[in-house]
Chain A
Amino acid sequence: MSEFLTYTIVGLVTAAIYAIAASGLVVTYTTSGVFNIAHGAVGMFGAFVFWQLRWGWNWPAPLALVVVIGVLAPLFGCGVEKLLMRNLADASEATKLAVTIGLLIAMEGAALWIWNPQTARPFPPFYVNNKVSFFGTYVTWTQLITLGTFVLCVLVLWFILYRTRIGIDMRAVVDNRSLLMLVGGNPNRASRLSWILGSSLAAVAGILIAPTLQLSVAPLTLLVINAYAAAIIGRLRSLPYTFVGAAIIGLADSYVVGYLPVSTVNWLQNLPLAIPIIILLIALLLQPHERLRGYIVRRSRESFPVPSYRLSLTGAVILIAVCAALAPVLSTQPLYFASIGLALGVVGLSLVPLLGYAGQISLCQMTFAGVGALAFAHATGGGSLLGLLVAFAIAAIVGLLAAVPAIRLRGLYLALATAAIAELFDSWIFGLPSVTWFGHTLPLFESGAVPIARLSIPGINLTSNRTYLVALAVIFSLIGLLVVTIRRSRFGRALLAMRESQAGSETLGMRTTALKLGVFTLSAGIAGVGGVLLAGVYTQVTPTQFSFLASLPLLLLIMAGGAGTVGGATFGALALGVFGYIGTISTFIYQISQLLPGLVGVGLGKQPNGVAADISASLAKLAARLPGHASERLRLASITPPAGVGGQVSAAGLASPGSAASPSPAHGASPVDGASLPVSASSGEASVPSGGITDAGITLEGRA
């Protein structure tokens, strides 16, 4: 009995910390509409700063607490809101996520820079030796303080949300931002306060959990991810349900450690680490089915030009030629990082159909890459092209399995589900040496690092790093052309259609579920191939190379390049290679290079199409200006509608300005039969369905 009580107390204390972290997340999300993936990183940073003040500089604990929680964290939250988040109000879900992922990576890089991870930093609990007796067991002061802090946080939140003017504003923003503005509220002020509260709560949680976790960057950043599960149980809206969720997770965690025979059953090892993630997945699965609705067609900021084969082939030839020319002359380091860039670029290419075309956010591509690499290492025929095919197939199957729970979800929830899958592999499956199930042993990461034979192609010797680089360029180009082919195919059109309007696609007869499963499977397979190629550069693989945190910079750089295009993935590959290489120049530059992907991601809010789109647009402009180069103008002219419509459409950004005003009559163009429709300029803009206020839930139809 006292044993059970002990586990219950431990569970509730953990729950209290999760609840504090999760409440910060919920308050920020509901008020500002941004789900802060970096919430854990903020908590991590808070814990580190507290350590610095309290133990590094020996400040008294209360002063250090006040400075961290009451001054620095709020300032940080305020700054983040003002500099990054305010511009994101109408950005796409993927862009919002990318910016907070960028923040996470930048904070991680900064923490590793400021606090050298090689140095031990003991973080003793508060009042380490004090405890009180409680029904035959003991409760430490630290535990009491944690529970007390939770109660205090709840009271503060309750007071702010229900007893202050700005709290009412914050609750109003959740319901309708535009209406709040009409009645004189200030959504920006409410949003800023939510970021301040969120940062402070994250810091409190970070400081409370640091003693049990040790002061270490990755676990602190990720452990608060466990709080996401609680927030999801609260459906990202309800604080009471969030607290219930935290209690479930904390207690489950504690009882599993206490009672599950983890040491006797080999595949149960590490399971306790994965409990919150499993609960997160279940909670996501139990989310009420989102009503199948698209959104009002808006002028989306993203552009998706259909790539031409000629341009794509030219790009491929240039890439291969450059690699072939550089391979013999590059020294070891640049050669190594160029190879890594290209191999990671293949994983990046896997994101183009998935994220770029189908609009499905995945934060677990590196997990699929890891599965591919493992399959290649262990499968029969390893090293051969057959092994590559097996790796593709196994990664694709795992992708399919992962997609099954993810398939009902969209946007943010899908991203969180894929993050959970990545974490599940990190904390559980990739941590197992092997799995024995029904007498069959499936080898995994064994002793932690698995040697992998490099891909061998009959007739070509790839053991030399120089030939391997050229081979990588060829394979990257082939897969790139495959992705271009997909975009130009029926499958690609269907993916874009589904991304634009699921309701529209379904009512036309499209099986969107099958389509999503298909694209997830294909994408995971390509990522698996990327994993094999990457393993060929490393020669042996470890779980950390394929962790959740490894997926993030890749995703960011691909998005920065432009997830909708193969050119974007190529840019991402180059950037990864270059960042990796410049990191070897000096420790200082290495630290900066760790920050770069984060900074790039943070910059995404400004240019959602990515750099590749920017560059190609500038190139097109330049080409159009060249004398004698008429194709660009011709292309524009060919889509210039007949007069009368011209002015209207030109306003919509279609026609070239000069052609808008030709004076022929509006409906003169060949009436096909009596029923053909005349189309005129006057139909239109005035009746664009207005969003916001007018359909704020007043009507029953449509958006009701």
Chain B
Amino acid sequence: MALFEVRNVTVRYGGVTALRSATVTAEPRGIHGLIGPNGAGKSTLFNVATGLVAPSSGHVLLDGEDVTRRSPHARARRGLARTFQQLELFGVLTVRDNLLVAAELHTRRHGDRTDPRRAVEAMLDRMNLSQFGPARADHLPTGIARLVEVARALMTRPKVLLLDEPAAGLIEEETQALGRMLRELAAEGLSIILVEHDMELVMPVCSTVTVLDQGEILASGTPEEIRRNNAVVQAYLGVSAEAAQ
């Protein structure tokens, strides 16, 4: 059984169907890409996964447990963490305190006696964000702010991490470093679902990729399979794969 699964989830907002019977799974040590055009339902899927939006039907399973009816914080306590496409940093707090809030929510749960402040410093160091520690979160450039959100999510020591366009606003070099970081985290056992437009990041780091279009799963497979998939190319470019070549 998968570590994390969003199973047959349908979401309707009034007359609009944002997701139609979508299934996405994530395995430990895997980086799973979730791509699709704007409005495809990627963030809605994340919102259902983390409990911010209740699905019209379908289930969310985490570590063998059906958490569909659980609150967002209960899911977080079971090891689910996320970042947001539209940033949800604690603007008036410093970067350090942003991470500290997350650390303090979880150190006691993990039963270890490390000082949360020390854990925060280690994380800032690891993400090379130390120099931003005393800066107010809402004073950061967005690229940095996205990295702070990733760092904050990691402070909860999640089993599953959902990243919503973490590379938006990063330059190429930084994107590559982020990719290396994600691989390293996956190697440590983390399961990652990555929503991203930047194919330079998605294709090399992901073990599997799912394509969403207009709320429906268009295709799922290895990056290479997705690259050759006719329906995907058509959805993205409006032409068939052969024509594109």
Contacts and interface: CB of A to CB of B under 8 A. Distances in A.
Given A297-B91, A511-B73, A676 B177 contact: yes
Nearest to B13: A704
Contacts of A304: 92-93
Contacts of B134: 638-639
Given A679-B147, A683-B142, A689 B52 contact: no
Given A509-B73, A509-B77, A684-B142, A677 B92 contact: no
Query: Nearest 10 CB-CB pairs, A to B?
Result: A683-B143, A684-B141, A701-B43, A509-B76, A504-B88, A506-B72, A641-B131, A500-B90, A687-B169, A639-B134
Interface in B102-146: 102, 104-106, 125-129, 131-145
Given A704-B13, A704-B44, 12 more contacts: A291-B52, A302-B92, A496-B92, A503-B72, A506-B73, A507-B82, A508-B152, A648-B141, A679-B147, A680-B173, A687-B142, A689-B87
B90 A645 contact: no
A702 B47 CA distance: 8
B105 A510 contact: yes
B215 interface: yes
Contacts of A671: 128
Contact of A296 (B13, B87, B132): B87
A512 interface: yes
Contacts of B196: none
Q: Interface size class for chain A?
A: 35 or more
A497 B93 contact: yes
A1 interface: no
Contacts of B98: 497
Nearest to B181: A675
B18 interface: yes
B69 to A, nearest CB: 14
Contacts of B129: 677, 679
A141 to B, nearest CB: 47
Interface string B157-195: 000000000001111011001101101100000000000
B6 interface: no
A218 to B, nearest CB: 37
Most chain B beta-carbon contacts within 10 A, residue among A291, A302, A511, A669? A511
Interface in B42-94: 42-44, 50-53, 71-73, 75-77, 80-82, 84-93
11 contacts: A293-B52, A296-B86, A297-B137, A500-B91, A501-B89, A508-B76, A508-B152, A509-B156, A510-B73, A672-B128, A684-B142
A653 B86 CA distance: 22
A692 interface: no
B244 interface: no
A121 interface: no
A504 B44 contact: no
Nearest to A512: B73
Contacts of B84: 294, 503-504
B39 interface: yes
Interface string A246-265: 00000000000000000000
A503 B13 contact: no
B22 interface: no
A82 to B, nearest CB: 31
Nearest to A688: B142
Contact of A702 (B43, B93, B145, B184): B43
Contacts of B50: 507
Given A506-B76, A638-B134, A700 B141 contact: no
B139 A676 contact: no
A500 B139 contact: no
B38 interface: yes
State the main secondary structure of chain A at its contact with B: loop
Nearest to B102: A508
B232 interface: no
A13 B67 CA distance: 52
A299 B38 contact: no
B27 interface: no
A669 B132 CA distance: 13
B35 interface: no
Contacts of A303: 92
Given A496-B92, A504-B89, A508-B101, A297 B145 contact: yes
B72 A292 contact: yes
A111 to B, nearest CB: 39
A654 B44 contact: no
A678 interface: yes
Contacts of B144: 679, 683-684
B168 A701 contact: no
Contacts of A639: 131, 133-135
A496 B173 CA distance: 34
A652 to B, nearest CB: 4
A654 B81 CA distance: 29
Contacts of B42: 701
Contacts of A510: 73, 76, 101, 105
B132 A641 contact: yes
A608 to B, nearest CB: 12
A299 B141 CA distance: 11
A487 to B, nearest CB: 11
A267 B208 CA distance: 67
A504 B105 CA distance: 13
A99 to B, nearest CB: 22
A701 B51 CA distance: 15
B5 interface: no
A687 B168 contact: yes
Given A497-B93, A508-B156, A679 B180 contact: no
B16 interface: yes
A515 to B, nearest CB: 10
B202 interface: no
Nearest to B37: A699
B174 A678 contact: yes
Which has the most chain A C-beta neighbours within 10 Å: B41, B72, B85, B127?
B72
Contacts of A645: 131
A380 to B, nearest CB: 39
B85 to A, nearest CB: 5
Nearest to A304: B92
A237 interface: no
Contacts of B38: 699, 701
Contacts of A296: 86-87
Interface string A626-648: 00000000000011011001001
Nearest to A635: B134
A701 B197 CA distance: 14
Interface string A469-506: 00000000000000000000010011011011101111
Interface in A509-539: 509-512
A497 B13 CA distance: 29
A649 B139 contact: yes
A700 B16 contact: yes
A293 B42 CA distance: 16
B177 A678 contact: yes
A58 interface: no
Contacts of B145: 297
Instruction: Give the residue among A638, A675, A683, A689 with the most B Cβ atoms within 10 A.
Output: A683
Contact of B92 (A300, A669, A676): A300
